[in-house]
Structure 1
């Protein structure tokens, strides 16, 4: 099987699972939107805070995939199993930290000036999700392990199957019925909590029973923390997690800053943000598949095939990025109508989706690049680029345009400036990351020939 076919098959499998997980958010957005405009606004704010915390911690664990993929390429399954056990120490610390942040969101809500009338629902939503965070992070380790092994289909089946549980639970808990009073937006959080624990239990059962994991010897007694190995994890995972934190917060903090514009702006932004997040699953899946193969070939000592695989993944991500952007631009009004029946929300959301199309092209390219750069242990430079461009140009630039004005433009008091500035920032990021990746590939190719 060709390398491109291997990447495509792996990516499509990951994509199916990622879309199932994203369907959780789509389901909640539609359910909350049908329940009440205020519930949709509270969901927009609450999900922005949760995603910021969860994805940053998840990114630290996801960044361990190159380590395990290289060990697979080097044919060292026992070392891979020991490494997985050591990652449990990172999981424990990440869970405690994440729960503490989700249970105490008031400083964030005050800093971003979230309207007081929405804060109660947001706090209740986050308090429930705090107890769903540990199983979600532990399942992420299971998912990352499967991706490194080149068998993501087991995770995909679980994620797709869990959607059949999430959808009815969200509807039931939110609207009530069968003796249960309506929970509003908190119902979406309760449904997610239940699903997270079900996924964890099934994943645990698979690890215990599936023969694929036997060579890893995962069920040996947990060793004491290995300071040297955990330090290696942190050198890779901490900058990667911080990079994802910057990337995600540059996206999610928009929701919190836009919240002061009122429920209409928050609802329209939630629709645009949800579709952008769904689109992101395509380059994310390609990036995961490509980086897994690049790391595998690096572990096997074949730098030439690693570089060729990286380039194939890049061009595939570019093709898909432009194609999906064209679709979202052309069909922006019908897509917005899936989420809401309010004319004002539809009109504003449709206008934002034009910016989402531009945003996605740049997002596709930079996502592929940063994942492959992690396979070459390049993590600090992307973090610095993210901090300057995504926070400085994207988030701050959007804030200035929306509320203070900048270079004769604004203040515009609309979600559109945030999307425009973020799209521009991502475009610059994609250019820099592409140049960096090409330089790294040339360097490693030359070193191998020497």
Structure 2
């Protein structure tokens, strides 16, 4: 077990630091905008939910490059990796157009929230600014998928930490104004994010051009047009992966849209709770990325026993750490909320939600780590079905029934935002167990026949 854990941790910690740097973008935005105005904080919560839905859905498609490149790297077929990256960049161009249109014209989604005019206008401005940074964000995802696939996550981490160092001063400048720039509030942090997205995308492309490690891949050694067979392979894996990401994120996005009906204070409390949950999520996400990298490389080298062992230990590590995080979160709830906002009403709205996150996070760790391992096996369709049934059916459907007291049978403590968070926790538990059982089935199929007949090692 411990050799596997050491390998996973060695790859996971740079991913974790990089992901914490990125999630710190949202934490910084929330903390700074929260001190600008409650309306802008609510607009940030609503706008970021919509943006993340679009961004994650599209980058999920591009993440198909990671298991493909990882298996090629494990099989020592480096020249083919460059061709796959070029095809992924063509796909990025198409997805950028789709994403830009969705973000620049978000009125259909905003109409669901039934927001007051002031909140609608601030959210619209925020999303339109971010639409111009989306192509750079998608290009950077190609870079990060490649570097993670070949076991070089530090090259992503350095750029993400550098971006965070720029985020604070740029946010201060554009949110609160100064040096000839008026105070812009929530839309100001969107300007800062857009500028940073373009900067790290340009630097990432430069790394692929200049760093010696990537030269055998020949990413930019020649020009090529889209090749349908390779595009088809990317889309066959990427579309269900992107859809599973989209289902996961929209289960949260539509929570925000529905919770907005309970008022600005409740929505602000939900935004802070979601922000803290997202910070916790970065650890199992990082372990999932690291585990998937090692599993895909082992599969490419046809070391199927090693792949199964790495996957099993990655899932166990993720769930164990989630238990520790949950205990710490429950004890530190009051102090965390006071760090986010001085508004006592928002703190009161968020306090019970954070207690639910203790259970929510364990199930979240189980499902995301197992999902990444399954993607390393190039399996995505069945996990997407599991996500749809659990997160949309139980999570959103159950949350709507509880939160709005449909039928009149919901106890008072389960109504409102709490009903949505409880239902979402249950849905993650169903998804996590379903994905884990499916992984056991898939991993057994990849074992040699004599190992299957003898029975795989217990999980």
TM-score range, shorter chain: over 0.9
- Asked if structure 1 preserves the Cα contact closer than 8 Å seen for 2:112 and 2:257, the reply is no
Report the CA distance shift for 1:334/1:225 in structure 2 as closer, same or farther (over 3 A). Answer: same
> 1-side partners of 2:21 and 2:421: how far apart?
25
Query: Cα distance, 1:397 vs. partner?
Result: 1.2
Residue 446 of structure 2 corresponds to 444
Residue 189 of structure 2 corresponds to 188
Deviations 1:269-312, CA, capped at 9 Å, x for gaps: 01001011111111100000001100001101111111111111
Report the CA distance shift for 1:272/1:448 in structure 2 as closer, same or farther (over 3 A). Answer: farther
Deviations 1:221-276, CA, capped at 9 Å, x for gaps: 22121111111111111000000000000012211111121110111001001011
Query: Cα distance, 1:204 vs. partner?
Result: 2.0
Flag structure 1 segments of 5+ consecutive residues without an equivalent: none
Residue 431 of structure 2 corresponds to 429
**What SS does the corresponding residue of 1:445 show, helix, strand or coil?**
coil
Deviations 1:68-116, CA, capped at 9 Å, x for gaps: 0000001111100111101112101110100000011111111232333
Query: Cα distance, 1:446 vs. partner?
Result: 4.4
> 2-side partners of 1:114 and 1:260: how far apart?
8
Residue 12 of structure 2 corresponds to 11
Flag structure 2 segments of 5+ consecutive residues without an equivalent: 453-459
> 2-side partners of 1:96 and 1:3: how far apart?
41
- Asked if structure 1 preserves the Cα contact closer than 8 Å seen for 2:65 and 2:84, the reply is no
> 2-side partners of 1:408 and 1:339: how far apart?
34
Query: Cα distance, 1:410 vs. partner?
Result: 5.2
Q: Structure 1: which 4+ aligned runs deviate by more than 4 Å? A: 410-413
> 1-side partners of 2:324 and 2:197: how far apart?
33
Normalised to the residue count of structure 1, the TM-score between the two structures is 0.97
Aligned pairs for 1:279-358 (under 5 A) are 279-358=280-359
- Asked if structure 1 preserves the Cα contact closer than 8 Å seen for 2:403 and 2:420, the reply is yes
Residue 128 of structure 1 corresponds to 129
**What SS does the corresponding residue of 1:248 show, helix, strand or coil?**
helix
Query: Cα distance, 1:407 vs. partner?
Result: 7.0
Residue 361 of structure 1 corresponds to 362
Residue 415 of structure 1 corresponds to 417
**What SS does the corresponding residue of 2:423 show, helix, strand or coil?**
helix
> 1-side partners of 2:444 and 2:247: how far apart?
28
- Asked if structure 1 preserves the Cα contact closer than 8 Å seen for 2:405 and 2:415, the reply is no
Residue 277 of structure 2 corresponds to 276
Deviations 1:126-148, CA, capped at 9 Å, x for gaps: 00000000001101110111001
> 1-side partners of 2:291 and 2:324: how far apart?
19
> 1-side partners of 2:101 and 2:411: how far apart?
38
**What SS does the corresponding residue of 1:2 show, helix, strand or coil?**
helix
Deviations 1:334-385, CA, capped at 9 Å, x for gaps: 1111110011111221211011111100000000111111122221111111
Deviations 1:184-231, CA, capped at 9 Å, x for gaps: 100010000111111112112212211111111111222121111111
Residue 455 of structure 2 corresponds to none
> 1-side partners of 2:313 and 2:45: how far apart?
36
Aligned pairs for 1:81-92 (under 5 A) are 81-92=82-93
**What SS does the corresponding residue of 1:377 show, helix, strand or coil?**
coil
**Between Structure 1 and Structure 2, how many residues are aligned?**
450
Aligned pairs for 1:31-430 (under 5 A) are 31-406=32-407, 408-409=409-410, 414-430=416-432
Residue 456 of structure 2 corresponds to none
Query: Cα distance, 1:404 vs. partner?
Result: 3.7
> 1-side partners of 2:277 and 2:366: how far apart?
14
Deviations 1:397-421, CA, capped at 9 Å, x for gaps: 1112122435711576521111010
Report the CA distance shift for 1:242/1:223 in structure 2 as closer, same or farther (over 3 A). Answer: same
Residue 27 of structure 2 corresponds to 26
**What SS does the corresponding residue of 1:392 show, helix, strand or coil?**
helix
- Asked if structure 1 preserves the Cα contact closer than 8 Å seen for 2:269 and 2:347, the reply is yes
Deviations 1:387-446, CA, capped at 9 Å, x for gaps: 111011111211121224357115765211110100011111111111111122222224
